[in-house]
Amino acid sequence: MIWDGNVRKMGSVVDGEGRVGYCFRGADVLQNLPEQPANDWVGREVKVSFEGSIHCIETGKRIKKTYGEGLSYDAFLRSPLACPSILRPELSRIHEGIALRDELWEREHHLQPHVVYVSQTSHLKIGVTRATNVPSRWVDQGASAAIVVANTPYRQLAGEMEVALKSVMSDKTNWRAMLKHVSAEESALVEAKDECLDVLGETYESFFDLCDDVASLTFPVLSYPEKVKSVKLEKEPMLEGKLVGIKGQYWLFEDGRVWNVRSHAGYRVQIEVS
């Protein structure tokens, strides 16, 4: 199989047993291409060749480097895809009728139900996502398990809670540690949730999620690397070897090299699977 096009962030589905299925997405500049079942590539020889071209995922303009995730510099400064409230949810003001960049986009994406959660990636971490992004957000993070702490009617409120919880829990993932085998620890997640509820207190009590169900995820990984080396295609334009797994937005190769698909959004590549 030979695939040629511009990279996009992988999509995913999770079945009733928590098994993650990935679909590789791409475009011919801006025209979407058919999705490919990436799980089928695990265990096979895969070659990724960077052709030297990068196109902005929003405008299609050819660019030398990307900003954010696949944007040109101009698009990064104005696109809602790089809105400050994406990285810092507490900055959103669309619930007040104030848009930071694009009112329609922010109403569709930020003036919607959100969840505050604890996930187990490299360690236990706090996070925020739109309710409709569960469980795909946890898949993108490479979380082995997650539990919902609170449900909010809009993004800013969830971000406000996240800020309060940073005093007791990190909101960052160590990607190198995440790419190891991390077993789901349900009891630890429930305990972490209880600690979060104690920190949030009566102020946010009406938004607490009373269910302690833990969502566990299993990724298509045959073996985990002892050491990992991240590959940047502009420095190493050909990546070839046996693909032994996919976790988060990373492809794991048998020799320990890993490729972050999401960070290469907009890159024009050819993928050969044999």
pLDDT tens over the chain, length 274 residues: 999 999 999 999 999 999 999 999 999 999 999 999 999 999 999 999 998 999 999 999 999 999 999 999 999 999 999 999 999 999 999 999 999 999 999 999 999 999 999 999 989 999 999 999 999 999 999 999 999 999 999 999 999 999 999 988 888 889 999 998 888 889 999 999 999 999 999 999 999 999 999 999 999 999 998 899 999 999 999 999 999 999 999 999 999 999 999 999 999 999 999 9
- How many distinct structural domains can be found in the chain? 2
φ and ψ at 114, to 5 degrees?
-125, 160
The identity of residue 105, as a single letter, is: W
Q: Tell me, what's the pLDDT at 219?
A: 97
- Do residues 157 and 228 share a domain? no
Beta strands (DSSP E) in the chain are: 2-7, 11-14, 20-24, 26-28, 31-32, 36-37, 45-55, 62-63, 114-120, 124-130, 145-152, 215-216, 229-230, 238-247, 250-253, 257-260, 267-273
Is residue 255 within 8 A of residue 226, CB to CB? The reply is: no
- Do residues 137 and 70 share a domain? no
At 16, list the tokens.
């009733």
Cα separation, 40 vs 72, whole angstroms: 32
Q: Tell me, what's the pLDDT at 182?
A: 86
- Do residues 137 and 51 share a domain? no
Cα separation, 189 vs 135, whole angstroms: 16
Cα separation, 45 vs 243, whole angstroms: 6
Cα separation, 189 vs 40, whole angstroms: 32
- Of 216, 236, 255, at which residue does a domain stop? 216
- CA 14, 16, 19 angle in degrees (round to 5)? 45
Four-residue CA torsion sign, 170, 172, 176, 177: positive
- Do residues 90 and 203 share a domain? yes
Q: Tell me, what's the pLDDT at 247?
A: 98
At 80, list the tokens.
């809602």
- Of 192, 216, 240, at which residue does a domain stop? 216
- Do residues 123 and 18 share a domain? no
Q: Tell me, what's the pLDDT at 188?
A: 94
Q: Distance between terminal CA atoms of the chain? A: 7
- Do residues 164 and 238 share a domain? no
- Do residues 86 and 207 share a domain? yes
Is residue 140 within 8 A of residue 199, CB to CB? The reply is: no
Q: Tell me, what's the pLDDT at 171?
A: 84
- Do residues 134 and 186 share a domain? yes
- Domain with 268 in it: 2-80+221-273
- Do residues 66 and 87 share a domain? no
- Do residues 165 and 196 share a domain? yes
The contacts of residue 27 (CB under 8 Å, 6+ apart) are: 5, 6, 8, 33, 57
- Do residues 231 and 179 share a domain? no
Q: Tell me, what's the pLDDT at 226?
A: 87
- Of 216, 235, 263, at which residue does a domain stop? 216
Nearest alpha-carbon partner for 152 in 190, 101, 111: 111
Cα separation, 116 vs 112, whole angstroms: 13
- Do residues 72 and 91 share a domain? no
Q: Tell me, what's the pLDDT at 30?
A: 96
